[in-house]
Structure 1
């Protein structure tokens, strides 16, 4: 009986002892699920030695407590706090702490990107002088991180109390040892409150500030007086962790002058007992350890120690092989050293590629790269072979500190660095170990001299902020994380067509990569900033606009898509002014008033319109260019130029005489033409080099004039800056002609918006309204306008003579406005030596506009093939240029399809030799090669040419060339190409005209609306412009209606004078002549022709005729012999031999000599050709 009692008592005592042992065992975490999660989600922690009640346990996510939902001896379920840090989760109970060896990773939804707008403009908080380190941690259990800074000069730390919403109005100081450096926040005594520890470099100590706050406002009194512990010489970095897993936190300190790491084992007896640590142990490092870090590299459940050695260019690794309740130098395996590059300054541990291994991330104090060493360890071993060869990544400069954290919430640790360039550089992690991952970075400007940084959520939104401490400006820079899902607030325009740009406003737009119009993706998306995205529509659909980012999507309804107009065919392809032509295609506006058709710069009358066909009247003043159609601000052009023709006698000097000589302002250097007042006549603009102005001459018809246009007095328009070159074009799609001008002296271009005011001032050059200035390269020369990216908007290209490149400004405007935002930032493309002339045209027939540039210093042409996509433009939108040799000093150039083979040819002025170079184009579609221009040739002209112009001068449907020289010579080169084949005599000078004054520019266009293209010249030496009217007879269709069918037409040719007389058959012997006589100030002419039947010789009959004029006094007496056939037949041809005399009151007497002409016998009319000669 007694024996049984004794045995029972022994058993009871033994069980009581075992229970005591269990109660003293620290919590041990076996697993956490999930280990990556967002805030407010729950995690399940499994292990042993957990308390059965949740009232006696704290779960810390890197220093911020989670809310415990349930607790048993083997499982705890807790929510994730918004302020969780990338550190191991710990459980604290009964004064003991257990850690999970791998960090918990906080994510958040709608992230996944880092842009320049991901972090709001920094908040600056002042510190004391020479701050050294910064950390965050929750010191009052409100779930928000406080900020703690060490102040090396004042020997204090400053605590900034977080009041929420990034407000830190309250702060207080705590005195430290001498020259405080590194700081850490941790619950050192396992009482559930976070304490502060700091390394004092000047006093070779660490100070512990035990948190004793029970309730109330956090203040200096919330901490007990500092508790100092001695370490080795000049400590600089500090960490806290339970190394030997006895439940008590230890302290690890690096000492830069001692070349050691000090380890102080925590041996505090109970939860509320005084702090107690064993005598430090020292681990020898290499030279000048600067930063210490803790992490389980070999996955054995024990945290290992790492430090960087600045003077040895290495990392020292101390593998933890400790046993519970023991921590000595033997608790660490033999040190492993890794060479890592020049002057490592800081180290961080993080799992870069999510393989559950901690990798090493190193900052370098004198290099512009940081390094990552991948961990490929096996359990229970660390050697030099545990790690792969380091990979270096460029950053913004030499670094002072580095951190790893998931800034964008995508589940991958990104890298943050502070550099000596006053930058916070963020490197986004794509999750792979490759040379491209982490290569790019985004800089945020800090205060002066950033020296350290830390990461933590300060405003309770679970998005981590980034903080830097700046020793130069004695400040803290706080960067608020504003990554999130996109929001659309507005978009414009609401109506858009293919190639159009839609501007989408909102926020969180920096990471937008995809935009959909309906269900069709945009062809190009540009995130301009965090609140603006430009999306270019392809085919598109009406309805919703949807944009997507890694952080989510946003939708707005209200877009109306109008397909881009397309021209398929023009019939006929040539014609005289007044001809009705049919244009077929797609996506025309059925309302004819909502389409605009131009022949060059002249607007055409639209008779009828449907979505697929328009009927148009060919206007006077049209030039040899593709027809353009503008619908809803979008412009497209026909593939083939329209040729305005008339039947002519070819080019001759005698057909041209200067009829207008108008004064200009000083030194006119350039002429452009366009119908600015929309009266159907070409107005004239001169660029005046000597007065920094444009002069606009409206072209009108006065009461005295039947044919010739007259120019009103000019309107002078100040350009503000000296102009070099300019072009006239509707740039913003508002159906008005605008002006783009280059400025050689200010390295810029100006765009002037035209205001539609018929016959009144068409420009109002208010600098802030109608003129915008854009910066170019050095010394811009020539400017060209055309649709480069195929979006239907006019882009601008300019050659930069001094910087040997081309600046291109893409038109991204919407609506009819014009501002700097109408154009994207310029893109520069390299050119040859001293680029001058430039043209935008489709060279290879692929319906994309290419660039042609004359390099005056290299004696070459550069041809840039457009390989870009619709609505986009980058430096890679053009293929590498091909080079074509020219003559000496090529300057001005022009593009035209000279041989009507649907390929644009090139002609360029060689200003230092007496020639122009012609480049016949034989390229295949989609290809531009030098071989395709191998049949180039030169055409000799008089003296050195300075400028050229192209148009059909003689009305034969082929484009001719006009060339001028500075000395006043004009050469008109007639196009003699036959059967589409070029030859050396394809262009022949048929008129050499001397103006007897210096010439600066030439234009060829129909000024007087007679259907013939005139010659317009700028005379810079005499400050005027001249018009040489084209007096080649036009084609005039005959009206067969009348009292009788016409038998013939008499045409009398004289210098600057011709008559068209239609002969009507009244009887076999009497013909009545009627018609028009064309001459300055000449009106209607009339008369008769009488056949003398009595006289006949071999079927020939003599005749007499008399012609009189109105408004001009002259009389013509005509006689001759006609064939019998005329007398006998109304439809057969006839031969006439006229001879006669004309009396004129101004120029004396002229004799007419007949030229026989046989007409086709099936025609019911004929004409007699009479050539006059003046004495």
Structure 2
């Protein structure tokens, strides 16, 4: 406490002597003066220096009125009906006051630039005149005479800000007798619009403006004379406000201030309770909602409040005036180094907690907790409030009878959100649950993949430098560990259907209305039409728009054939022509123009076959057994067809450059003689024919792609009669290797190529018309494919197309169901699982119990450290860049090592290891040499019969030196070893976690955002969590 003058009222802060330390100015109401307290850098202040004001000063504000970069002071004098301006010299002293007349009952003052001249102006509330006075500043410390603007009845306080986003300063006033808030929008010339009012509770008193929901719109918070609450009014950005959100304060609030008191970058509120001898802090969540207030005792009569960092520790402190005791009190926000409040969480009956972890799971910069519930087959996520308390757990299933045993946190799908890997003891698998950054997690479909043994312990690290976390797994009573890597299974969500015309037959995709969203075009065989379905960009589509094409449209293609940057549509018919519908770029199309082809065209592709940069058309004519080439003029019209006879009954076609001469070639299927023809292009629209041996069976469909990642184009064929997928790997000279076949069970009428699981290996999608399904065959990158994964479609699917319909970079599929007269859309989903990579042997009888991942030999590759409880040693596996490891090197530990952690305990920048030796009742420290080898362990006792189980490290006392915490299963406590930074430690400090609790796991984190590490302990016998906060 610091002695002020008589009846201290308002308080403000600023650096008045330019020493980079905040000072305080206090209005002494009955003393008719102000007191200036100059601050030191430790939160203490010099005795006040007094400067005279007018009679009965009530409120003070601080700003630079004469543009000399030194802070000045303005005070409102209630009885004298004026303001006092005291100019600062920059050394903590001030000139004598200069006064300017106000209205009657000057009560409150605020500052702003109301006429856009870059000079500070003053606004004063005149409570008895029902108006405000505006004093326009000249920038030299003097002001023009007041200009008054009407308010409501008995205005009490004022705040300044841009409430309608026009870059002009506005004013908000609380009208006590009218029970409303008035907004006076500024014109930017020192004048204001008549006030616009919004209702408040009874007797509004103090108003403060700030942005409480992070929407970049100014909000206000209001206190009341006759209500034990505060009201938060959210700004709409147009000068109006929402209805208030009310927060109880328990007693009447006199004054209010705003700041970030828990360093979470969200604004909090502090209020004074004049009648209750305390102040209250309401911590904000950043969405205009606040936690229940936390109260702090304050002697006698807390009155006005302000905030600032008075001891230079980057934490906001609070200054409060005491009107009864003539004092000013400073409450410093500080940190010390011992355990304080503990919070116990029960996680549900029969949970049988096995493991815990800590991280920020909902992207609010607040630490959360995850628990593994073995008995209830789920994991539980407890989201933190940032004050050391947590929401009730939200559970996420790990599957029936899974019995989850261990968990690790990592990034398994490269989306910047944290995910979980869970070792399921009961189902013998590792589950992946992908986070979305909101605290929710989606369990990935495991597809029946099981390990040979029940996993017990897992850890995560990126062993192959692909930017994704890999997994290392250990098993109870086994002498090896396994490495698992992530794999995307390329799954799809349930279909959505959209109506078409009668008997839809072919589908293609493109952006027809230039909205950056994929649309769909479908041919309707019996209607002689095409349907256009415009996409919304979220995998949904508008109702179809129908365009007439002519009789029996069979196949559709999409391209810009007239070089207007608008997509056009090309359709072949069962007769002998191709129709071109030029697009307008708004989703509509011109009437068709037709060009002659052969008889019964069956397939169409578009490409530049004569290298004139204009798109041409290639059409297969099944009746004539010919290929028609129509060279384009680039204006949407085409030359007469040039015909080629490639084989017997050509049916399906694809294009690509198979001999790397930069000219487009054509590959097609000849159904009658079971051959594949390759037409190598000369680049002038003509071709030479070459047959490819594709065995005696009849290939049905053809497509192209690089299926073995050698940068040479390959051919893929589907042979429905034998349920075979064949790949002919290209040599890049127009010749191909013998086919590679993958068998299955399918009856396809369509074939498309894409990478559905983002593994850089091409996959294929087929439609199975007799089985009413679509099949995905994931490629291995060597020309072979996995067994198909099928998804049900509608009746008699006949064709498919691939595109990204919801802009998530994952391929989606659209399928045409001809009998149902509709199309169905399958949205691509990221479904990741873990697959086995290799095994590391830890030695006979080793029984590995715990892992750490670190770079022990400074080669930038992740290594593995493991404690082997059966052979009483630490095993080190040095990693290579490709995800493989050297053989294990071992270093003796104590008896039955149970847990391991890594840190630099002697400040030599090399990672060291600490282990909990359960049977020896101690911890062992192994100092690293930085080359993957370690010194002999140094031991520190954890207490008689303590049975240390779990160990964690961190800087617990903020001295920049690493410390150690251990859970003692046998003695029901935790032990903290504070480090000296030279591999030695202070005597351990023990803290009980409850009789019969049996603590078995501990993790550390800052749960209340006070820059101090706290602890969360899992207790086996009490099946509970205990959070221990460092309160001082």
For the aligned pair, the TM-score class normalised by the smaller chain equals 0.3 to 0.5
Q: TM-score, normalised by structure 1?
A: 0.31
- Please identify the structure whose Cα radius of gyration is greater: 1
TM, length-normalised to structure 2: 0.35
